[in-house]
Copies of this chain bind each other. A is one copy, B any other.
Amino acid sequence: MMMTIRRTVLVVLMLSCACIGAVRAERPNIVIFLVDDMGVMDTSVPFLTDDDGTPKRYPLNDYYRTPNMERLAKQGIRFNNFYAMSVCSPTRISIMTGQNASRHQATNWINPEKNNRGPFGPTQWNWKGLKTSDVTLPRLLQGAGYRTIHVGKGHFGARAFEGAEPKNLGFDINVGGASFGAPGSYYGSQNYGLGTRRSHHAVPHLKKYHGSETFLTEALTIEAKPHVTAAVKDDAPFFLYMSHYAVHAPFNSDPRFAANYKDSGKPAPAQAFATLIEGMDKSLGDVLDHLNELGVAENTLVFFLGDNGSDAPLGHQHAVACAAPLRGKKGAHYEGGMRVPFIATWAKASGDNSNQKRLPIVADAIQIQQAAVYDLFPTILALTDLEPRKKHVVDGLRLDTLLTGEPDKKRAETFLMHYPHSPHRSDYFTCYRSGDWKVVYHYFPSKASEDSHYQLYNLAEDPFESKNLATGKPDQLRVMMRGLIASLEQTNALYPVDKTDGGAPLKPKLP
């Protein structure tokens, strides 16, 4: 009986909404599968391509084992110019709000205990994190009747503030989410940190696994399933935010996969990192299987992504090492610091499903246009027929066209990454990509930036950032710096300051 009433309401809605072409039976379920500190090269799926657009394998693709990502990539489309912020909280809050970090102003990773601005960071940055009153993706979905499920890492706000608890941000359920970013331990035998010297990072809500051999990644996967099952049983569409602590440090080796890397010749921490990757990949497979078992895979849209560039312990942060052939790693201003894997697909293909007809995602394809983490917000809202609140500015752009495999000429193809923090004076930077060009502005020139405020690269000709053109191409440098400065201003950016105790904001200068 309830079913009949619900259908009637939907038909009325459908008839009154001119913008929907096809008949819709059900709103789609949404899964965001977010992996911490995973860069675009930390997988056996090749994301980079040859000049002619065919996927190209590099040695790291042969080192890592991610069969379930391979399965996902075969079903859907992957992006090879997908950008995240260079550290975690900024990306996570961008996913929640659809805003660039320079706008939401949580520009650094949140230290749960204090203002982590760095000695020259802006005092007023959003170090307390998201608030109950903020417009968030789960809040909007919750308001539309979605069951909103948070599993894993939160890191949305400092310990004493509202964002520490995902339930304050629109999640109905929270398993494992808290104010911190790194787990106390991945080991059940170590109670995920509780009672160790890393107790302040002990992962909550997992008491039943304490003292067991269950690895954290596995425990979170086991915990997620019944919440999804319950939503399906209750006939509620669901939003599963499956946010693994893996593959963030500490690099605890997952014994289930350690043998796969023992003869790799790589150092022990890099081997442990690979086991974290493989354990995360198993979780992905388990979640996909569960959706199939429940019979909801055809109506469930999966977004897989990393939250910042690789943190693989393989070399210096400015070298071609951790994300080779890309230069740099997590935190750095090079591509290896901000390019992440992104795969989107319906969990199971279907010719009949009306949501799939509405958003036909192409299989086994690579999209080469730029996109970024904040694009998820408007894409998901559009697909669920929700409007963002009028006063809430969204920097993201809908991915619909790109997901079908087509080019989208309405995208500016620009990306702004603003990082006015760091313990090291030399690491305060903003970078801006527009088309093939990328400029990096260093607030405090040093040897790390070759003693200049500016670095300029043409990523079409020099994808691995070996040749700084700042001196040789002064006109292009000025064009790019105008774009950088305008984007900062238009997104309400906060700037580094010139003294450790505060002082004047250091706005970037034209050369």
Contact = CB atoms under 8 A, between A and B. Distances in A.
Contact of A485 (B124, B412, B490): B412
A510 B413 contact: yes
B478 A435 contact: yes
Nearest to A410: B507
A487 to B, nearest CB: 6
Nearest to A102: B490
Contact of A393 (B393, B410, B435, B482): B393
A483 B482 contact: yes
Nearest to A432: B486
A393 B492 contact: yes
Nearest to A501: B18
Number of copies: 2
Interface string A467-495: 00000000000110111111101111000
A115 interface: no
A509 B435 contact: no
A344 to B, nearest CB: 21
Given A395-B489, A435-B482, A509 B412 contact: no
A397 interface: yes
A485 B410 CA distance: 8
Contacts of A325: none
Contacts of A233: none
Contacts of A510: 409-413
A479 B397 contact: no
A434 interface: yes
A414 interface: yes
Contacts of A397: 489
A484 B411 CA distance: 11
Nearest to A505: B410
A173 to B, nearest CB: 29
Given A413-B510, A478-B435, A483 B486 contact: yes
A409 to B, nearest CB: 4
A109 to B, nearest CB: 21
A204 interface: no
A414 B509 contact: no
A479 B509 contact: no
Contacts of A483: 412, 414, 434, 482-483, 486
A231 interface: no
Contacts of A487: 486, 490
A478 B287 CA distance: 43
A445 interface: no
B435 A490 contact: no
Contacts of A410: 485, 507-510
Given A395-B489, A489-B395, A490-B487, A434 B507 contact: no
A268 interface: no
B508 A414 contact: no
Interface in A385-437: 390, 393-395, 397, 409-414, 434-435
Nearest to A480: B479
Nearest to A413: B482
Nearest to A398: B507
B489 A412 contact: yes
A491 B507 CA distance: 20
Contacts of A492: 393-394
Contacts of A393: 103, 393, 492
A176 B510 CA distance: 44
A509 B409 contact: yes
Nearest to A492: B393
A177 to B, nearest CB: 26
A373 to B, nearest CB: 15
Nearest to A391: B391
A484 B507 CA distance: 22
A104 to B, nearest CB: 11
A6 to B, nearest CB: 28
A11 to B, nearest CB: 22
A390 B413 CA distance: 29
Interface in A339-397: 390, 393-395, 397
A58 to B, nearest CB: 29
B411 A485 contact: yes
Contact of A486 (B412, B478, B508): B412
24 contacts: A103-B393, A393-B393, A395-B490, A410-B485, A410-B508, A410-B509, A411-B485, A412-B481, A412-B482, A412-B483, A412-B486, A412-B489, A412-B510, A413-B482, A413-B510, A414-B483, A414-B485, A434-B479, A434-B482, A434-B483, A434-B486, A435-B479, A479-B479, A486-B487
Interface of A: 18, 100, 103, 124, 390, 393-395, 397, 409-414, 434-435, 478-479, 481-487, 489-492, 502, 507-510
